Chain A
């Protein structure tokens, strides 16, 4: 249908190819970017995930556990410790009284719970609490809490000497 090379130039074919590929790529980029924003949906999905995580965390906190049905004594002991004795989370570098209160409100009462919490969830909790808390970086808190829950206080202190306000 089209006579693209009427003068039969040797180099015409690759010049045409470059133009066609360029046009195709340009069209692809425009089409991809003109669609519904993917990052917006991803943000919404991550918000939903963090809401779900905090809902599950608060559910675990609020659900009464019938200890008589649990046959493994260590789990019962852990549960009793969690309910009766909240740990002093201020021993974690980067956590002050206000943040401790905030974490307690979100169902994180013990070192074990803090060590199991994801950094993403902790960041979400801090972000929701307002601009005063958003500057804090919780990335080391779960690992610090893990050492604390394992009773490795000396190791924790040594690490905290290296840390700067809980940051690596």
Chain B
């Protein structure tokens, strides 16, 4: 790494640079995947709550 005054032609430095970058990108992808699935689940849970409320009121109506 130039910033750390490391020799970029050294094999160890080259591999670790690439690993750091790959891991960082994979982590960003991971966060993105989590965000997408969580958004979908929040919407599903909202629908479930609405349906459960509707079901409760239907059952109350049925029992009364």
Question: What is the number of contacts between chain A and chain B, taking CB atoms within 8 Å?
Answer: 113
Main secondary structure of the interface of B (DSSP, over half): helix
The reply to whether B1 and A29 contact each other, CB–CB distance below 8 Å, is no
The reply to whether A4 and B18 contact each other, CB–CB distance below 8 Å, is yes
The reply to whether B59 and A3 contact each other, CB–CB distance below 8 Å, is no
User: A3-B1, A30-B33 given as contacts; is B48 within 8 A of A59 (CB)?
Assistant: no
Selected A-B contacts with CB under 8 Å, 6 pairs: A3-B8, A27-B26, A28-B33, A34-B33, A38-B37, A52-B58
A129 at the interface (CB under 8 A from B): no
Residues of A within 8 A of B35 (CB): 31
User: How many chain-B residues does the 8 Å CB contact rule pick out?
Assistant: 39
The reply to whether A20 and B34 contact each other, CB–CB distance below 8 Å, is no
A31 to B29, CA, bound (A): 7
The reply to whether B62 and A25 contact each other, CB–CB distance below 8 Å, is no
A27 to B18, CA, bound (A): 16
